Amino acid sequence: MKNILVTGGAGFIGSNYIYYMLEKHPDYRIVCIDNLTYAGNLETLKKAMENKNFRFVRGDITDRKAVNSIFKAEGFTAVVNFAAESHVDRSIEEPEVFLKTNILGTQVLLDACRKFGNIRYHQVSTDEVYGDLPLDRPDLFFTENTPIHTSSPYSASKASADLIVMAYYRTYGLPVTVSRCSNNYGPYHFPEKLIPLMIINALNKKELPVYGEGLNVRDWLYVKDHCKAIDMIVENGRIGEVYNIGGHNERTNIDVVKTIIKILGRDESLIKYVKDRPGHDLRYAIDPTKIKNELGWEPETTFEEGIQLTVKWYLENRYWWENIINGEYMKYYEKMYGGR
């Protein structure tokens, strides 16, 4: 029986992956370790907890003792590492925890994979490790051979982790893969990120803070398509390889914001252009040829469908985000946007 450790599964993509896997592979055991930072939410895993093949453990991936004891008890067949500090703006304010969790936490997991029987390891990384592309060269895309060229403490910490993962493959022969995905959106996305922040503010008739002129471009992928890609890589990906994941859904930020305004029937006067993010990456765009050719992966959800589904989810799951924005999150919001 397959027994997969999912780290960071109380966050956005990890929780979607857990639900995807429990449905797709009802015979697998899935164990989640998450230390429930501000971004982790047990409420998100409530339904998973009812499944007898699922176990949640509160624990920190940088805690070697705790990690080793769960590896010893469980006998994992694979590890998928989602656990990370994930928000660029927070990494600009307080970089240290990004280095600790994203780099050292990865190392602790890799060491445990070696110690407990050369366990299959997958690192969930990001296209942000490639830096950015110019706005006036729509012909350029990130391939797996694009040099690492990071901009923010967040992307630098993710790139460092990728290099360590590949070093464990080359040096110790650990069976690893790395995936680098573009921006995700969908259910359970923490309200600090662009799409959920705009949906929730628009619903509450609050200002919509757009950085700079809103012309930066992101390549959006519906989260379920990302989960499917990871499953395919863990099952059939070539060991020691990197796979880019993205579905050619480039949009300027202002386009995304206007689309949300339109779906919710709000007015564009809610848009407020605010001071830009320092070092703001201009454009991300993935070339997914490798994963398509090697594993047959293709996205199933267009941006038009996905954004409708996402807005609908936030409308139907108010309890989930109202709990968040009523708590600690408001202090963060005031700090980041108060004087902007």
Distance CA 249, CA 285 (A): 8
Taking CB under 6 A as the criterion, the residue among 10, 13, 210, 223 binding ligand TYD is 210
Q: Tell me the window of 8-16, 26-34, 162-170, 192-200 that interacts with ligand TYD (CB under 6 A).
A: 192-200
Does the footprint of ligand TYD cover residue 182 (CB under 6 A)?
no
Determine, following the binding rule CB under 6 A, whether residue 301 of this chain makes contact with ligand TYD. Answer: no
In sequence order, which residues have a C-beta less than 8 Å from that of residue 297 and are 6 or more positions away?
228, 229, 232, 245, 288, 291
Among residues 34, 60, 127, 132, the one annotated as catalytic is 127
Q: Within 10 Å of residue 193's Cβ, how many Cβ atoms?
A: 18
Query: Which residue(s) pair with 34 in the sheet?
Result: 58
Q: Which stretch binds ligand TYD (CB under 6 A): 28-36, 114-122, 208-216, 239-247?
A: 208-216
192 assigned to active site: no
Tokens (6 digits) for 169: 């493959």
Tell me: does residue 79 bind ligand NAD (CB under 6 A): no
- 30 near ligand NAD (CB under 6 A): no
259 scored as a contact of ligand TYD (CB under 6 A): no
Kindly list the distances between the CA atom of residue 141 and the CA atoms of 89, 280, 295, 328, in Å, as whole numbers in the listed order: 24, 18, 20, 38
> Is position 129 an interface residue for ligand TYD (rule: CB under 6 A)?
no
Torsion-angle region of 16 (φ positive above 0: left; ψ -120 to 50: alpha; else: beta):
alpha
Site pattern 171..190 for ligand NAD (x: CB under 6 A): ----------x-xx-----x
> What residue 210 binds from ligand TYD, ligand NAD, none (CB within 5 to 8 A, per partner kind)?
ligand TYD
**Gap between the Cα atoms of 178 and 230, Å rounded:** 9
Burial of 340 (0-12, 13-18, 19+ CB in 10 A): exposed
By CB under 6 A, tell whether 307 contacts ligand NAD. no
The catalytic residue among 60, 128, 231, 281 is 128
197 part of the interface to ligand TYD, by CB under 6 A: yes
Query: Strands 250-252 and 217-219, how do they pair?
Result: antiparallel
CB of 127 to ligand TYD, least distance (A): 9
Q: Residue 34, interface with ligand NAD (CB under 6 A)?
A: yes
Total residues interacting with ligand TYD, rule: CB under 6 A: 12
Question: Catalytic: 96?
Answer: no
* Annotated catalytic residue 314: no
**277 phi, psi to nearest 5 deg:** -75, 135
Rounded to the nearest 10 degrees, the angle between the axes of helix 303-316 and helix 253-264 is: 50
For residue 180, state whether it binds ligand TYD (rule: CB under 6 A): no
CA dihedral 27, 69, 241, 248 (to 10 degrees): 70
3-state secondary structure of 40: coil
Among 10, 78, 79, 271, binds ligand NAD (CB under 6 A): 10
Type of residue numbered 84:
A
The set of catalytic residues is: 127-128, 154
Residues that bind ligand NAD (CB under 6 A): 7-8, 10-14, 33-37, 39-40, 60-62, 82-86, 101, 105, 124, 126, 158, 181, 183-184, 190
> What residues make contact with ligand TYD under the rule CB under 6 A?
88, 183, 193-194, 197, 209-211, 216, 218, 253, 277
